[in-house]
C-alpha cells in the first residue's frame, strides 16, 4: 500500500507528509504502535534468529516478558562489535533470521573506521528501507513534480541506495548520478533540470566549488531542495548556510546507518534539528557510561531498535551518536521525536582540549563560518593529558590565506576560549571527498 502524501499549510510553507496520519499520531498511540511492532519483531526472531535468541537467553529474558515499549529496557544492548563477531561465526551472520535463499541484498559499511560490517536484506526488509526513505524525502518536501538527482557511486556501501526506493514511493523522477566526474554531473543536472539532490554535505560543497572553479553557473540548475546524510554537516549551522547559499536551495539533514536503517530526517520547517521516524524505530537516549536513560533535553548516546527489518534486526543498538531530545512541539505538526541539532557528534569523536569538550561538528561550524575557506583539516595531537588542535585551511583563489588563518584562530578564541594553531595551505593541498569526509585526524 502506498501511503498518501498529505498537504498542510503552515504560514508560507506547504508541508508535505509521507503518511500524515501516522506522522501526527498522539504520542501515546505512537508508543502503543511501537509496542505492538516490538512484540511482533520478537515473535518472529526469537528461536529463529541465532544472535537474538542467544542474547535474550543470556540476559534471562523471555520474549513473553516484553509486552509494551516500556518493557524494552529489560532487553540487553546490541553493539557493533557483537554484530562484527556475528559475521565471523556464520557464512552470512548469526543475526540473519532466515536461510540465505530468503535474502536479496547484501551491503557493507563504508569501512572508514575498521572492518566493514556486512548487512543483509530480504525483499520485505528492503521495501521497508524504501518506506523509511519515503518519510525522509516527503519530509524534505519532495513531490512527484521533482527531478531527483543522486550523485552517488552505487557500490556495496548502502549510502543512498534506499533513497531510490523512497523517491519511487513519493513518485519523483529519479536520476542516478554514479560513474561521472563532478563536471559531468553538473552538466547532467542542468541538462535534465534537476530540482532536488541527495548527497553528503561535503559533496554538495565540493560540487559548488567545482562549478565556481570552472565558471559553471549553478543558477542554470533549477534545484530547490537538497537532502544530506553520512555526516552531521546539514545540521551544522555554518555548513547548512553555505550549502543553501551556494545552491539557492533548502538543505535538509537526514541520519541513518547500515545496521539500523534510515531513522531520522529534517522537516521543511527546519526547526534546527531532525525527527526520528517513531513508527519504524524506537529511540532511546542513554548515558554512554552507565547505560541509564538521560533526562529529556540532556545529551546522550542514541540507542535504536528497528521495527521493520525482521531479516536482520537490531534490538537496543548503541549507535555511538550523541543526540539531545527536544520535546517541544514542531510547527510542522509531526509528533515524531525531535533531536535538537540532529546528530551532535560521535561519542568517540569528542576530545577534551584544555578542559573544553569539543566535537568535530563544533569545529566545522566555526571554520565554515569563514566564507574564504574552501576546505580544511583538523589534527588533534594528544600527548599525555594534554591535547592540542592544529587546523589547516585552504582558501579560495585571490584570498590572503594568512589573514583568514588569523580570523579563524580569533573565532576559536572567542567561541571556545582556545587558541589553536591555524595554518593556510596552498590550493589543492587538502583532499576532496565524494562521500564521507575525513577531516579530523587524531594523533
Ligand atoms: Zn517538524
Q: What would the pLDDT profile of 393-412 be if each residue is shown by its tens digit?
A: 999 999 999 999 999 999 99
Calculate the alpha carbon distances from 107 to 130, 265, 348 in Å.
15, 22, 24
**Which 8-state DSSP code applies to residue 436?**
S
Distance from residue 294's CA to the centre of ligand 1 (Å): 23
Q: What is d(CA 129, CA 154) in angstroms, rounded to the nearest whole number?
A: 16
User: How far does residue 333's CA lie from ligand 1's centre (Å)?
Assistant: 6
Pairing verdict, β 373-383 and 386-395: antiparallel
The pLDDT value recorded for residue 47 is 97
**In which residue ranges of the chain is pLDDT below 50?**
1-4
* Cα(307) to centroid(ligand 1), Å: 22
- Distance from residue 232's CA to the centre of ligand 1 (Å): 18
Phi-psi region of 176 (alpha: psi -120 to 50; beta: other; left: phi over 0): beta
How much distance in Å is there from the Cα of 410 to the middle of ligand 1?
35
What grid cell was written down for 42?
Answer: 520478537
User: How far does residue 269's CA lie from ligand 1's centre (Å)?
Assistant: 6
Measured in angstroms, how far is the CA atom of residue 230 from the centroid of ligand 1?
21
Strand residues in 277-404 grouped as ranges (E): 281-286, 299-306, 317-324, 338-340, 345-346, 351-353, 356-358, 373-383, 386-395
Cα 267 to middle of ligand 1, angstroms: 5
H helix intervals, 157-267: 161-170, 182-192, 201-213, 237-247
Question: 137 alpha carbon to ligand 1 midpoint, in Å?
Answer: 13
Taking a C-beta distance cutoff of 8 angstroms, is the pair 107, 161 a contact?
yes
How far, in Å, from the CA of 213 to the mean position of ligand 1? 36
Ligand 1 centroid distance, CA of 331 (Å): 6
Say how many Å lie between the CA of residue 335 and the centre of ligand 1: 8
Percent pLDDT > 90 in the chain is 83
Q: Do residues 335 and 30 make contact, with C-beta atoms less than 8 angstroms apart?
A: yes
Q: How far is the CA of 79 from the centre of ligand 1 (A)?
A: 30
Query: What is the whole-number distance in angstroms between the Cα of residue 301 and the centre of ligand 1?
Result: 22
pTM of the predicted protein model: 0.92
pLDDT score for 1: 40
Distance 225 CA to ligand 1 centre (A): 16
Model pLDDT for residues 279-325, shown as the tens digit of each residue: 999 999 999 999 999 999 999 999 999 999 999 999 999 999 999 99
Give the Å distance between the CA of 328 and the centre of ligand 1: 11
Please state, in angstroms and rounded to a whole number, the distance separating the CA atoms of residues 51 and 210. Answer: 47
- Strands of the sheet containing 440-442, edge to edge, are 421-425, 386-395, 373-383, 440-442
* Ligand 1 midpoint to CA 45 (Å): 33
- How far, in Å, is the centroid of ligand 1 from the Cα of 54? 39
Residue 274 CA to ligand 1 centre (angstroms) = 7
Q: Is 192 exposed, middle or buried (0-12, 13-18, 19+ CB in 10 A)?
A: middle
| Length of the chain as a residue count | 443
Distance (Å) from CA 334 to ligand 1 centroid: 6
Question: How far apart are the CA of 201 and the centre of ligand 1, in A?
Answer: 20
pLDDT score at 2: 47
Task: Fill in the DSSP letter of residue 208.
Answer: H
226 C-alpha to ligand 1 centroid (Å): 16
Q: What is the pLDDT of residue 438?
A: 87
Residue 339 Cα to ligand 1 middle (Å): 10
Q: How many angstroms separate the alpha carbon of residue 428 from the centre of ligand 1? A: 39
Report CA(14)–ligand 1 centroid distance (Å).
Answer: 12
What integer pLDDT is reported at residue 237 of this predicted model?
Answer: 94
For helices 401-416 and 360-368, angle between their N-to-C axes, nearest 10 degrees: 130
Amino acid at each position: 500500500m502506498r501511503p498518501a502524501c498529505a498537504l498542510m499549510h503552515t504560514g508560507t510553507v506547504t508541508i508535505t507528509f509521507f503518511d500524515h496520519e501516522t506522522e501526527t499520531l498522539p504520542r501515546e498511540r505512537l508508543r502503543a504502535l511501537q509496542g505492538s511492532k516490538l512484540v511482533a519483531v520478537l515473535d518472529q526472531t526469537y528461536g529463529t534468529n541465532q544472535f537474538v535468541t542467544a542474547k535474550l537467553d543470556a540476559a534471562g529474558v523471555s520474549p513473553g516478558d516484553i509486552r509494551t515499549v516500556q518493557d524494552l529496557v529489560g532487553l540487553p544492548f546490541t553493539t557493533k562489535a557483537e554484530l562484527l563477531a556475528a559475521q565471523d561465526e556464520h557464512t552470512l551472520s548469526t543475526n540473519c533470521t532466515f536461510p540465505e535463499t530468503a535474502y536479496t541484498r547484501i551491503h557493507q559499511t563504508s569501512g572508514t573506521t575498521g572492518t566493514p560490517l556486512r548487512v543483509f536484506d530480504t525483499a520485505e526488509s528492503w521495501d521497508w528501507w524504501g518506506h523509511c526513505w519515503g518519510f525522509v524525502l516527503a519530509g524534505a518536501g519532495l513531490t512527484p513534480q521533482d527531478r531527483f538527482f543522486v550523485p552517488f557511486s552505487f557500490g556495496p556501501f548502502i549510502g543512498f541506495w534506499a533513497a531510490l526506493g523512497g523517491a519511487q514511493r513519493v513518485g519523483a523522477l529519479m536520476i542516478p548520478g554514479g560513474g561521472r566526474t563532478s563536471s559531468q554531473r553538473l552538466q547532467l543536472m542542468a541538462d535534465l533540470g534537476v530540482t532536488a539532490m541527495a548527497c553528503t554535505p561535503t559533496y554538495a560543497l565540493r560540487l559548488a566549488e567545482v562549478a565556481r572553479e570552472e565558471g559553471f553557473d549553478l543558477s542554470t540548475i533549477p534545484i530547490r531542495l537538497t537532502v544530506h546524510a553520512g555526516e552531521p554537516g546539514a545540521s551544522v549551522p555554518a555548513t547548512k548556510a553555505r550549502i543553501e547559499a551556494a545552491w539557492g536551495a533548502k538543505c535538509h539533514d537526514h541520519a541513518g546507518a547500515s545496521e539500523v536503517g534510515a531513522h531520522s530526517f529534517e522537516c521543511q520547517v527546519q526547526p534546527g534539528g531532525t525527527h526520528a521516524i517513531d513508527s519504524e524505530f524506537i529511540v532511546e537516549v542513554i548515558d554512554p557510561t552507565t547505560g541509564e536513560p538521560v533526562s529529556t533535553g540532556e545529551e546522550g548516546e542514541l540507542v535504536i531498535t528497528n521495527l521493520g527489518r525482521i531479516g536482520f534486526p537490531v534490538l537496543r543498538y548503541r549507535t555511538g551518536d550523541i543526540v539531545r531530545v527536544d520535546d517541544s512541539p514542531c510547527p510542522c505538526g509531526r509528533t515524531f521525536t525531535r533531536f535538537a541539532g540532529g546528530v551532535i557528534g560521535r561519542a568517540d569523536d569528542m576530545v577534551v582540549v584544555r578542559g573544553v569538550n569539543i566535537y568535530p561538528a563544533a569545529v566545522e561550524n566555526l571554520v565554515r563560518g569563514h566564507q574564504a575557506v574552501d576546505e580544511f583539516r583538523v589534527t588533534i595531537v594528544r600527548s599525555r593529558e594534554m591535547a592540542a588542535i592544529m587546523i589547516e585551511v585552504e582558501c579560495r583563489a585571490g584570498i590572503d590565506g594568512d589573514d583568514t588563518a588569523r580570523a579563524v584562530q580569533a573565532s576559536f578564541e572567542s567561541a571556545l576560549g582556545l587558541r589553536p594553531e591555524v595554518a593556510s595551505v596552498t590550493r589543492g593541498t587538502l583532499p576532496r571527498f565524494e562521500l564521507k569526509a575525513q577531516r579530523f585526524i587524531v594523533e
